[in-house]
Structure 1
Amino acid sequence: MKERFKTLDIFRGIFSSFVVFFHMSAFSATPIINNSFFNNAYLFVDFFFVLSGFVIAYTYQNIDSWLAFGKFYKKRFFRLYPLHLIVLLLFVAINLIKHHASGYVHVNELGYGVDNWRSFLSNLFLLNSVKMPGIHDVSWNIASWSISAEMIAYLVFGMVVTFINIKKLQAFKSYVYIIIAIGAFLAMAAFTHSFNIDNTYDYGFLRGIMGFFTGVLCFNLYRFIKEKYTTFKPLAFNILEPLCLVIVVVLICFGEMLKPINFIFDIFFFITIMVFAFEKGWVSAMLNKSELLHNMGKYSYSIYMIHTLLLSLFNVFFIRLLKLPASAYWYLFIVNYLIIYMVSAWTYKYIEMRFSLKSTPKGKSAWWLW
């Protein structure tokens, strides 16, 4: 199969934008983004984990040597790490500027707090989704914990796939993936004494592994269904696609109430990705007509990685300097997002693509894989 899963990539762009609005809502006061949906939009991070497992399984399930595993992990590292490092260093620079400026002007939150040398090292070495001594919260670029979890999931996936292929255990691979996904969930539950998987700086890597291997299983089921049933009636997908979106929106709106059992979001993201992977319904057709949505999907990693930095600057400029009220975000959210989008287009071209390794499996495109 040589597929692009364009609709799924569009969802990556849309949902990364929802995470932007989730963080923007922290200093805004408008029902447009201060509502139950955007207040729980952080849950879309789990969609990214499941989708990542899906597309990585599509491309890389045939790794059959430790040399190939090394190449796989190197490619994934250079796809994600350069932008992560640059944004991290920008946060460090801003912190240093704040301390220098404090001698001349009043600077809020001057203390280092969670942004200290310990958390810097954990971010630098992409261990900021692992519970480390002396670290008690997300730090620096707070969104980057999920990149740490992603890289750890890649490591586990690559090693497992390589071992399976070397030992000729392909017939058992789905059982292995199920064990890993459930094992990560049970380990999280054991460490936190809860079925709430909203872990970030502490056991976020287990959350990432759970979601990632759920996505791997999703792809295996998708491939099985597509090979077994060669024709599908569009009517079924015309009903299933909007139904999936309605269910996801409703569940996100009730995210606070569902926190004790929010592992169920991985299940519904599994179903949603499965349905939209076929791209047979009218919703997929409508979304794929928009060039803007395709670009949002293309820039989604940049949007996700730079938005907390830019939102911090927007807060200083619009709220502290211009002294606009928090209610002004009924329109400022559009201005802020457009700036984030334009900067993301630049970082995608000049950072993401500049540092990523260009070689990809024959017949496949790499820009949508992060």
Structure 2
Amino acid sequence: MHKNQTDPVILQTKQHFEVLDGLRGVAALAVVLFHFMEWVYTNPSQNFIGHGFLAVDFFFCLSGFVIGYAYDDRIAKMGVFEFFKARIIRLHPLVVAGSVLGLLAFLFDPFGGHPELYNTGKIILTFFCSILLIPLPVIADRGFNLFSFNAPSWSLFWEYVANIVYALVLCKIRRGYLLLLTIVSAVAICWVAYHSGNLLGGWSGPTFWDGSARISYSFLAGLLIYRSNWIVKNKLGFLGATVLLFLAFVMPSSKWNWLSEPLVVLLYFPLLVALGAGTPLTTGFKKVCSFLGNISYPLYMTHYAVLWMFGNYYTSHKPDTTQLALIITVSIFLLVGAAYLVMVVYDTPVRKYLSNKRNKKLAK
């Protein structure tokens, strides 16, 4: 039956949350800056963007909202297997790219690193585990990251887990049960923060299970916001929302991190998602939000290879403050440019090719 063009469902599917795209890009830039600064300031209380790592929790919350928006009304029709294929096509090409870049940086870092300490078998195994998103925290030189050749992949591992749980369970349950799960996950987040003193964990072998608490609450909260239609109409605009988001990242570190960080994750980020989804976007910022949204994932997944080289350079050469500011500023611009190049030359064409193959099979 042909639906009338004024059908609210039709209108809803045409809506695009452009401000949220822009905020995703801002969060990705914050992660990159945080990763530079944590080499310079090993004491988080001295780091002006010492809470930049919370951008990952914001990503998780956004992810829950977007997955609900994109798939709640069609996953039953498309089926679990096709959902998984769609998500792998969307996410995995950059998992591979980040692993390759990380391996190259590990083997050919001009400023240090010790690949000779690890036998070829261990390096090959670590690389394949990185490509397949199988945690393997065995490289001491890389802080026993779950994914030694591309540290940020730890969050993609949990993103995949969340997608699997969504397809098998969350897409079917009623809102009351979703609320209950969200409350249980909130308790888990508070316990992790109190036990560890912060919410920085999840990326390494010893903190592996912290990651499960971080993805569980934020993903569920994002999904709950979408299903409850908790979209707050407001006039913040992209700039206002960006300022509010950035305030979370520059929040001072203190002995109260175990309390302040969960409050940001539990209340502030879900509110920001609701505000970002409900604020209008002025024409002047459309291209900015589109660009930031497009490069956010490529930037997040490709920047860390350079960070190890920067860290080894910083440790061995001890540049002064002026040099440091210049190096970091130029590096961020170059990393954004490189992320854009990876997107245009590799990610978009690969995803287009795989999507076309999938669509042809579905059409048969």
TM-score calculated relative to the size of structure 1: 0.74
> 1:271 matched to which residue of 2?
271
Q: Which residue of 2 aligns with 1:331?
A: 326
Quote how far apart the aligned CAs of 1:158 are. Answer: 1.4
* Secondary structure, aligned partner of 1:253: coil
- Cα distance 1:57–1:243, how it changes in 2: closer, same or farther (>3 A)? closer
- Give a deviation string over 1:13-56, Cα, whole Å, max 9, x none: 11100111111113447xxx995441221111111010111111
User: Which letter maps to 2:324?
Assistant: Y
**After the TM superposition, which residues 266-305 of structure 1 pair with which residues of structure 2 at under 5 Å, given as runs?**
266=265, 267-280=267-280, 284-285=281-282, 289=285, 291-305=287-301
What CA distance in whole angstroms lies between the structure 1 residues aligned with 2:329 and 2:236?
A: 31
Inter-partner Cα distance in structure 2 for 1:290 and 1:67: 31
Change (3 A) 1:257 1:348: farther
| Cα drift, residue 68 of structure 1 | 1.7
Q: Is the partner of 1:200 in helix, strand or coil?
A: coil
Residues 24 and 59 in structure 2, CA contact (< 8 A), matched pair in contact too? yes
Residue 178 of structure 2: aligned partner: 177
Superposition deviation, residue 191 in structure 1: 7.5
Does the 8 Å contact 1:46/1:211 carry over to 2? yes
Alignment CA distance shift 1:304-1:247 (3 Å):
closer
- Cα root mean square deviation, aligned: 3.8
3-state SS of paired residue (1:38): coil
1:252–1:28 CA distance, 2 compared to 1 (3 A)? closer
CA deviation profile, 1:104-123 (whole Å, cap 9, x unmatched): xx94445459x866755553
Structure 2 unmatched runs, 5+: 1-11, 357-364
1:91 positional shift: 2.3
Whole-angstrom distance in 2 between the partners of 1:67 and 1:241:
37
Which of the residues 130, 133, 139 maps onto 1:126? 133
| Mean CA deviation greater in 332-341 or 200-209 | 200-209
In 2, Cα distance between the equivalents of 1:326 and 1:125? Answer: 40
Equivalence for 2:20: 8
* Structure 1 position 38 matched with structure 2 position 49: yes
Please give the alpha-carbon distance, in whole angstroms, between the structure 1 residues aligned to 2:87 and 2:249.
32
- Which shows bigger deviation, 33-42 or 330-339? 33-42
Worse overlay, 244-253 or 350-359: 244-253
- Alpha carbons 1:43, 1:252 under 8 Å: kept: no
Displacement of 1:290 in angstroms is 6.0
Whole-angstrom CA distance in 2 between matches of 1:335 and 1:91: 20
CA distance in 1, matches of 2:76, 2:182: 23
Q: Which residue of 1 aligns with 2:213?
A: 206
Q: Report the equivalent of 1:253.
A: 251
Which of the pair is proportionally richer in helix? 2
TM-score by length of 2: 0.75
CA distance in 1, matches of 2:242, 2:295: 24
Identity %: 21
1:315 shift after superposition: 5.1
Deviations 1:69-108 (A, max 9, x none): 211111111211121112213322443446xx9xxxx944
**Corresponding pairs, count:** 325
